[in-house]
Structure 1
Amino acid sequence: MESFLKQQENAMLHFIEELVNIDSGSYDKQGVDKIGEILISHYKELGFQIEVEKQEEFGNHLLIQHRDAIDPQIIILAHMDTVFPVGTAAERPFSIKDDRAYGPGVIDMKSSHASLLYAIKALMHEGLIGYKDIKIVINSDEEIGSPSSKCMIEREAKGKKYALVMEPARKDGSLVSARRGKGNYTLIVEGRAAHSGIEPEKGRSAIEELAHKILQLYELSDHENGISVNVGLIEGGSSANTVSDHAEAQIDIRIKEMDQVEYLEERLEEICASTEVSGTKVLLEGEMNRPPMEKNKKTRALLRIIQDVGEEIGIEIEDTSTGGGSDASFTSSLGIATIDGLGPVGGNAHSDKEYLEIPTLVERTLLLALLIERLSHRTK
């Protein structure tokens, strides 16, 4: 199998180049759907059936399984969208320098699509049938929190035994066994406008009230226990000489454990229940949109299987936790053994320096193929 994949390395790189050179930002439906059409074509050639879940605002989602599959027990998650705006691929298209490939989305996660597709090809080449035990779910909006695909992922994951998530491995090659949960909130303050020179006493400053609220929000952070609250964007007011009648803040909240959700929601309610500036009103909108991916007993057992497979092919597998979010949280919260970071190794995702470590393309694809086959035997 390894020799087959080595022979396919150039084909894999050309496939990655094709995907990277197509803009597919989360809000670029046309670009994402173009990626989807390419994937559909390749999977159909391998005898897979594709169900397209059409979307109006975002790109269409894909549900893929082999025509001979019967109740597959392994769900594989991947996404087609990137964080980059239209025009990025033309500005800095796919390129190779030394042992690294560059381009928008090259590691997050267009290389992962090549790895998954060629892992299946490798299994078929060897006459193995583990690919019949997988259900592939590919969404179009992961980078913005999976608003249109969360329910689909949870629906398709129910009853599955294993979840393999194709986000890239960390820079040091580690897989991801835990992620913090994530919430997005908007705090809106309404005040009363007035001229700051002529009659400031008649005004009620929304900005002043928001300032008080921001300080209270930061006090919720407890980094030792994995809770972080960050106000990343603020806006308000109309001019320097006007008491502001409107202000708002965008808030990012991260948690380590589900038990922390109730505590944080109660504290947010308390903060917004009263105001420091008389005459202002406060409204909080948003929710915890990704639960934490916790390293539980099932995940540890799956990690040991992956480490055993890695040892057999000479790859030492380590794991780590990260504060970034992914769709792995959805399967993990359903009690399914979940491991993330099963794509190739790379780094600097979401930046103009994003890269793929080319030497890891074949080895991580081999790891994935053998893992699918190993897990398939365990589901029987």
Structure 2
Amino acid sequence: MDSFLQNQEQEMINLLEKLVNIDSGSYIKSGVDLIGSILAESYEELGFNVTYHKQEELGNHLVIQHQEAVEPQIIILAHMDTVFPEGTALERPFRMEGNRAYGPGVIDMKASQVTLLYAIKALIQENLNGYKNIKIVLNSDEEIGSPTSRSLIENEAKGKKYALVMEPARKDGSLVTARRGKGNYTLVVEGKAAHSGIDPEKGRSAIEELAHKIIQLYDLSDHEKGISVNVGLIEGGSSANTVSDHAEAQIDIRISEMEQADILEEKLEEICSSTDVKGTKVSLEGEINRPPMEKNKKTRALLRVIQDIGNEIGVEIDDTSTGGGSDASFTSALGVATIDGLGPVGGDAHSENEYLELPTLTERTLLLAMIIQRLTDKNN
């Protein structure tokens, strides 16, 4: 397979350039759907069936499975959206400098789309049957928390033994075996307006109450246990000389274990059950929208298989945990052995310096193809 992929490298780069030069931010439906149609056509040429799960406002999701597949045991997740606004691809299109390629979404995760497609091509070229043992979900909204694709991913993951998630490998090449869970909350405080110079005593400051709440929220963080609470955005008031009658905060919560979610939510409710500024009212809305991906026994066993393959092809495989979220959390929470970070190596995702280490494009494609086949052979 290695020689086949080396011969296909320029073709892979050409496809990558085509994908990178299409704006496909989460809210650019036309661009995400164009990415989907390009990939769908490529898979259909290889004998795969593509089912579209159409969305009105966001891009359509694709579920892809070979026409000869029967109860595949592997689910592969890869998202088509990026974080970049329309016009970014025109401003800084795909380019290569030395051993790196640059461009919006080049590593997160358009290069992964290329490696996935060509891993399957390599299996077919070598007359191996692993491509019949996979179901692929390409979703359009991962960068905004997978609001419309989460249920699809969870439904498709049921009954699967393995989940391979195509987020990029870390900068040092490590795979991801654990991720913190994530929650988003909005805290709203209602007070009573008054003129701060004429009759401030008649006012009830929503901003003052919010300040008390923010301090209490930060006290919930316990970094040693992997719990962090961050108030990332606040707003309120109408003018400097008016006691504020409204204030609100956007809160980001990260957890390392699912049991921490219930404990945190109880503490949040306790904080919001009373006020420090008499006459104000507090309300809280939100939820844990991504469970943590925990490094469990199944994940460790799958990692060992991948590390063995890495040793065979001369690629050292380490693993790490990260605070960022991905769709791997959904499959892991269902008890499916899950490994993330199976895309190529790169870094600085979501920034103007986002890059791909070009030599890893074929290297990680070979690794992925061998993983698919090895897991298939284990089931036979």
| CA contact 1:116–1:368 (8 Å) conserved in 2 | yes
CA–CA distance in 2 between the matches of 1:284 and 1:57? 27
CA–CA distance in 2 between the matches of 1:197 and 1:13? 66
Structure 2, unmatched stretches of 5+, are none
- Partner of 1:72, secondary structure, is coil
Across the aligned residues of Structure 1 and Structure 2, the Cα RMSD in angstroms comes to 0.6
- Partner of 1:288, secondary structure, is strand
After superposition, give the CA deviation of every residue in 1:114-147 in whole Å (9 maximum; x if it has no partner).
Answer: 0000000000111111000000001100011101
Q: Which amino acid aligns with 1:161?
A: K
CA–CA distance in 2 between the matches of 1:29 and 1:343? 24
Quote how far apart the aligned CAs of 1:379 are.
2.2
CA–CA distance in 2 between the matches of 1:203 and 1:39? 59
Matches within 5 A, 1:153-192: 153-192=153-192
CA–CA distance in 2 between the matches of 1:256 and 1:40? 36
After superposition, give the CA deviation of every residue in 1:301-342 in whole Å (9 maximum; x if it has no partner).
Answer: 000000011111011100000000000000000000000000
> 1:307: which partner in 2?
307
CA–CA distance in 1 between the matches of 2:97 and 2:8? 19
After superposition, give the CA deviation of every residue in 1:34-68 in whole Å (9 maximum; x if it has no partner).
Answer: 11111111111111000000011211000000000
- Partner of 2:189, secondary structure, is strand
CA–CA distance in 2 between the matches of 1:283 and 1:45? 53
> 1:237: which partner in 2?
237
Quote how far apart the aligned CAs of 1:239 are.
0.8
> 1:76: which partner in 2?
76
> 2:378: which partner in 1?
378
> 1:141: which partner in 2?
141
CA–CA distance in 2 between the matches of 1:350 and 1:112? 15
CA–CA distance in 2 between the matches of 1:212 and 1:316? 49
- Partner of 2:55, secondary structure, is coil
CA–CA distance in 2 between the matches of 1:227 and 1:57? 34
> 2:25: which partner in 1?
25
Q: Which amino acid aligns with 2:76?
A: I
> 2:50: which partner in 1?
50
> 1:88: which partner in 2?
88
Matches within 5 A, 1:58-73: 58-73=58-73
> Are 2:257 and 1:257 equivalent residues in the alignment?
yes
Matches within 5 A, 1:79-228: 79-228=79-228
Q: Which amino acid aligns with 2:340?
A: D
Quote how far apart the aligned CAs of 1:273 are.
0.2
- Partner of 1:197, secondary structure, is coil
> 1:10: which partner in 2?
10
> Are 2:305 and 1:344 equivalent residues in the alignment?
no
CA–CA distance in 1 between the matches of 2:317 and 2:6? 21
Aligned length: 380
| CA contact 1:212–1:276 (8 Å) conserved in 2 | yes
Q: Which amino acid aligns with 2:343?
A: G
> 1:281: which partner in 2?
281
> Are 2:362 and 1:362 equivalent residues in the alignment?
yes
CA–CA distance in 2 between the matches of 1:131 and 1:53? 22
Q: Which amino acid aligns with 1:252?
A: D
Structure 1, unmatched stretches of 5+, are none
- Partner of 1:173, secondary structure, is coil
CA–CA distance in 2 between the matches of 1:203 and 1:138? 53
CA–CA distance in 2 between the matches of 1:317 and 1:376? 20
| CA contact 1:52–1:61 (8 Å) conserved in 2 | yes
CA–CA distance in 2 between the matches of 1:100 and 1:14? 14
> 1:330: which partner in 2?
330
Percent identity between the two aligned chains: 77
CA–CA distance in 2 between the matches of 1:106 and 1:231? 30
CA–CA distance in 1 between the matches of 2:379 and 2:253? 37
- Partner of 2:77, secondary structure, is strand
> Are 2:273 and 1:246 equivalent residues in the alignment?
no
Q: Which amino acid aligns with 1:246?
A: H
After superposition, give the CA deviation of every residue in 1:155-198 in whole Å (9 maximum; x if it has no partner).
Answer: 00000000000000000000000000000111111111111111
CA–CA distance in 2 between the matches of 1:205 and 1:5? 65
CA–CA distance in 2 between the matches of 1:129 and 1:19? 28
CA–CA distance in 1 between the matches of 2:33 and 2:241? 48
CA–CA distance in 1 between the matches of 2:43 and 2:200? 66
- Partner of 2:34, secondary structure, is helix
| CA contact 1:48–1:65 (8 Å) conserved in 2 | yes
CA–CA distance in 1 between the matches of 2:299 and 2:309? 15
| CA contact 1:161–1:379 (8 Å) conserved in 2 | no
- Partner of 1:104, secondary structure, is coil
CA–CA distance in 1 between the matches of 2:208 and 2:249? 12
- Partner of 1:324, secondary structure, is coil
